[in-house]
């Protein structure tokens, strides 16, 4: 699952020089820009100046109209089913009695009350950490290709796809992180860990963020070094003080593991727990009903953006007001597996979801045909798929980001919308520097910088950034439209979302140039299909004038 690896790694390398080359008499505090309100991404630009989606204006148009409940599936890392702002909006399988150990609705999944967890086994064990797909592909195909270079020019179909994928994986694994960078990462990790333990003891909690560090007075040199690095990384990430020490440490360990995959095959984390026949897509009734598992932060945050209870006086307001969110856990801390994603899409469709939010992505898809077939299955059942463009600051017209709407045969899924991340001039820039882009494959941009939403444990809330946050913004608007205009098809929903954007006429910084000196200015129409940011008010106005074509 790609969160903000590129930017945390970049921050680590930048802060390495600072932390070890400067006077460490006190922890550094990054200067703060003008602070946007927590709900900036829902505001109207014309009346507030913030580049939001005009949500209140959309609801003004909908006053007096009745809505119909829409089921939105979230394929993600899990969800905190006890979070105060989410409990009322979580989907409950109407045919299932929870926790009785019986498959009451006979769909093959026992106790799937909130959804399903494809990253577990029947004994209750769950996959949390996983490897990276490049390493899995390289080591799986290395015995077949060895050190040879396949003649891809004379290959066709699946044989060519596999050979090209192997060469790309081989390059990624063998040329991924240069030895000097790996040495820095290995040197900095124990320093961070040593200081981290001191900070945790001083603060009285294992997980802390930038807000805690702003007032923290280091008690040792190690704690001071760690605090400097943590604060520097947060500065690199749009001054986001909600990033935690756990986020940073997990990412750094993952980057080191990824870099070392050239010498050692990745551990089969999933296979050791799930125990399915991975090569058989029809072996589908594996997993368990634990949608919370051990890693629900990402999925909980995404779910709140879509549908946290509105106007209840606590926490925050989700975008859609009459939604039930079905959680399908298929995204570990690492790269997801194609089989799990394909079956997650099918599960969502079979159980009534009309919008599927997918805040994940990877650079390799060895079983792409399985995912393609699932996307076609969703299209046949009139289900809209909303997918994150990714956080590498790259052009995905020419750089792979799976899943993709382009099938193996070259056709394009019409029920698939890809989302880049936007921000605000006071909040990370109009376009997020980490966001992927593409004139052909990124349909729209949506707010994805410092997005305030629900977090697990103790009814918490906080800000995260990424195209992972922009995607549920679009999924939430799509669900809102479908609530009040249930006759709209998935294709019509996508058309409205793309055509009703707020055009961004200002030149924006081309994503991916952070730390490279002068930026490149482009028009948003040069890096996306729509040339704008989604706007709920414009979308509702357009939906009012659109004759729905959905068939029962």
pLDDT-derived band at 25 (thresholds 50, 70, 90) equals: very low
Flag whether pLDDT at 478 surpasses 80.
yes
List 503's β-bridge partners, or say none: 532
Confirm whether 226 is domain-assigned: no
Flag whether pLDDT at 249 surpasses 90.
no
Per residue in 456-467, pLDDT (tens digit) is 987 899 999 999
Confirm whether 27 is domain-assigned: no
Domain with 156, as residue range(s), is: 137-175
Same domain for 440 and 335:
yes
pLDDT of 13 reads 53
Please answer whether residues 349 and 339 qualify as being in contact, where contact means their C-beta atoms are separated by less than 8 angstroms: no
Same domain for 151 and 294:
no
Confirm whether 229 is domain-assigned: no
Please answer whether residues 478 and 386 qualify as being in contact, where contact means their C-beta atoms are separated by less than 8 angstroms: yes
According to DSSP H, which parts of 22-156 are helical? 45-48, 55-62, 133-145
Confirm whether 526 is domain-assigned: yes
pLDDT of 238 reads 65
CA gap 473, 361 in Å, rounded = 17
CA gap 488, 494 in Å, rounded = 10
The CA-atom distances, in angstroms, between 139 and each of 17, 135, 136, 259, 403 are 35, 6, 6, 14, 22
pLDDT-derived band at 278 (thresholds 50, 70, 90) equals: very high
Confirm whether 311 is domain-assigned: yes
CA gap 413, 395 in Å, rounded = 19
Flag whether pLDDT at 21 surpasses 50.
no
**For the chain, how many structural domains are there in total?**
2
Stretch 394-420: mean pLDDT: 97
Flag whether pLDDT at 24 surpasses 60.
no
Percentage of the chain beyond pLDDT 70 is 92
CA gap 261, 140 in Å, rounded = 12
First CA to last CA distance, the chain: 35
Same domain for 38 and 159:
no
Same domain for 118 and 154:
no
Helix (H/G/I), strand (E/B), else coil: 471: helix
Q: How many CB atoms lie within 10 A of CB 428?
A: 25
Flag whether pLDDT at 30 surpasses 70.
no
CA gap 56, 42 in Å, rounded = 8
Flag whether pLDDT at 16 surpasses 70.
no
Confirm whether 243 is domain-assigned: no
pLDDT of 34 reads 55
For 127, residues 6+ apart whose C-beta sits below 8 A from its C-beta are 119, 120, 269, 270, 273, 274, 332
CA gap 323, 67 in Å, rounded = 10
Measured in degrees and rounded to the nearest 5, phi and psi for residue 477 equal: -65, -40
Same domain for 46 and 171:
no
Stretch 291-319: mean pLDDT: 95
Stretch 413-423: mean pLDDT: 97
Flag whether pLDDT at 516 surpasses 50.
no
Give the H or E element holding residue 115.
strand 115-117
Confirm whether 376 is domain-assigned: yes
Same domain for 142 and 104:
no
Give the range among 25-39, 245-259, 332-346 with minimum mean pLDDT.
Answer: 25-39
Helix (H/G/I), strand (E/B), else coil: 132: coil
Please answer whether residues 224 and 188 qualify as being in contact, where contact means their C-beta atoms are separated by less than 8 angstroms: no
pLDDT of 88 reads 97
3-state SS of 322-336 is CEEEEEEECCCECCC
Stretch 518-540: mean pLDDT: 94
pLDDT-derived band at 191 (thresholds 50, 70, 90) equals: confident
Per residue in 229-242, pLDDT (tens digit) is 888 888 777 677 77
Same domain for 166 and 81:
no
CATH of the domain at 537: 3.40.50.200
Q: pTM for the whole thing?
A: 0.88
Same domain for 123 and 64:
yes
pLDDT of 12 reads 54
Flag whether pLDDT at 181 surpasses 60.
yes
The tokens 């004139």 sit on which residue? 439
Same domain for 536 and 403:
yes
For 234, residues 6+ apart whose C-beta sits below 8 A from its C-beta are 11, 30, 210, 240, 241, 243
Same domain for 157 and 58:
no
Strands 444-447, 451-455: parallel, antiparallel or unpaired by DSSP?
unpaired
Overall size of the chain counted in residues: 552
Helix (H/G/I), strand (E/B), else coil: 442: coil
Stretch 506-527: mean pLDDT: 82
Per residue in 441-453, pLDDT (tens digit) is 999 999 999 999 9
Per residue in 114-145, pLDDT (tens digit) is 999 999 999 999 999 999 999 999 999 999 99
Same domain for 310 and 410:
yes
- Across the chain, mean pLDDT equals 90
Same domain for 171 and 90:
no
The CA-atom distances, in angstroms, between 134 and each of 131, 264, 366, 382 are 9, 13, 10, 33
Confirm whether 217 is domain-assigned: no
């Amino acid at each position: 699952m790609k969160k903000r690896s590129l930017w945390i790694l970049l921050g680590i390398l930048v802060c390495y020089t600072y932390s070890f080359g400067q006077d460490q008499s006190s922890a550094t505090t990054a200067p703060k820009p003008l602070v946007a309100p927590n709900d900036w991404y829902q505001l109207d630009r014309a009346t507030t100046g913030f580049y939001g989606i005009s949500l209140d204006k959309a609801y003004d148009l909908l006053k007096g109209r009745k809505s119909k409940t829409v089921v939105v599936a979230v394929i993600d890392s899990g969800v905190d089913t006890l979070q105060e702002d989410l409990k009322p909006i979580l989907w409950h399988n109407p045919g299932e009695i929870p926790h009785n150990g019986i498959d009451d609705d006979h769909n093959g999944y026992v106790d799937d009350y909130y959804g399903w967890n494809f990253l577990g086994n029947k004994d209750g064990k769950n996959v949390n950490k996983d490897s990276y797909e490049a390493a899995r592909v390289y080591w799986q195909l290395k015995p077949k290709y060895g050190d040879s270079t396949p003649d891809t020019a004379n290959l066709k179909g699946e044989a060519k796809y596999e050979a090209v994928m192997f060469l790309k994986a081989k390059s990624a694994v063998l040329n991924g992180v240069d030895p000097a960078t790996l040495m820095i990462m290995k040197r900095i990790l124990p320093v961070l860990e040593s200081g981290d333990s001191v900070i945790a003891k001083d603060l009285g909690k294992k997980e802390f963020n930038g807000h805690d560090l702003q007032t923290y007075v280091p008690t040792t040199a190690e704690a001071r070094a760690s605090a400097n690095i943590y604060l520097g990384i947060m500065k690199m990430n749009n001054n986001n003080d909600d990033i935690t020490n756990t986020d940073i440490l997990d990412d750094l360990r993952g980057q080191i593991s990824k870099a070392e995959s050239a010498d050692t095959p990745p551990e089969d984390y999933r296979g050791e727990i799930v125990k399915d026949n991975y090569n058989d897509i029809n072996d589908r009734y594996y997993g368990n009903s634990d949608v919370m598992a051990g890693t629900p932060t990402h999925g909980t945050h995404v779910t709140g953006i879509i549908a946290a209870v509105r106007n209840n006086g606590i926490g925050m307001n989700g975008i859609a007001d009459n939604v039930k969110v079905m959680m399908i856990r298929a995204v570990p801390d690492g790269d997801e597996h194609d089989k799990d994603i394909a079956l997650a899409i099918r599960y969502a469709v079979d159980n009534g979801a009309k919008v599927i939010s997918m805040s994940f992505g990877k650079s390799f898809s060895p079983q792409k045909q399985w995912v393609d077939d699932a996307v076609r299955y969703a299209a046949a059942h009139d289900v809209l798929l909303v997918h994150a463009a990714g956080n590498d600051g790259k052009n995905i017209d020419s750089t792979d980001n799976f899943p993709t709407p382009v099938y193996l045969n070259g056709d394009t899924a019409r029920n698939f919308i890809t989302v880049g991340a936007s921000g605000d001039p006071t909040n990370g820039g109009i376009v997020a520097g980490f966001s992927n882009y593409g004139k052909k494959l990124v349909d729209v941009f949506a707010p994805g910088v410092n997005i305030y939403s629900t977090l697990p444990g103790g009814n918490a809330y906080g800000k995260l950034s990424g195209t992972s946050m922009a995607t549920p913004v679009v999924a939430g608007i799509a669900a809102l439209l479908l609530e009040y205009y249930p006759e709209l098809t998935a294709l019509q929903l996508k058309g409205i979302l793309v055509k009703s954007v707020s055009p961004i006429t200002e030149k924006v910084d081309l994503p991916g140039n952070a730390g490279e000196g002068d930026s490149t200015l482009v028009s948003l129409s040069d890096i996306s299909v729509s040339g704008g940011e989604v706007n709920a008010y414009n979308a509702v106005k357009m939906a009012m004038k659109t004759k729905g074509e959905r068939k029962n």
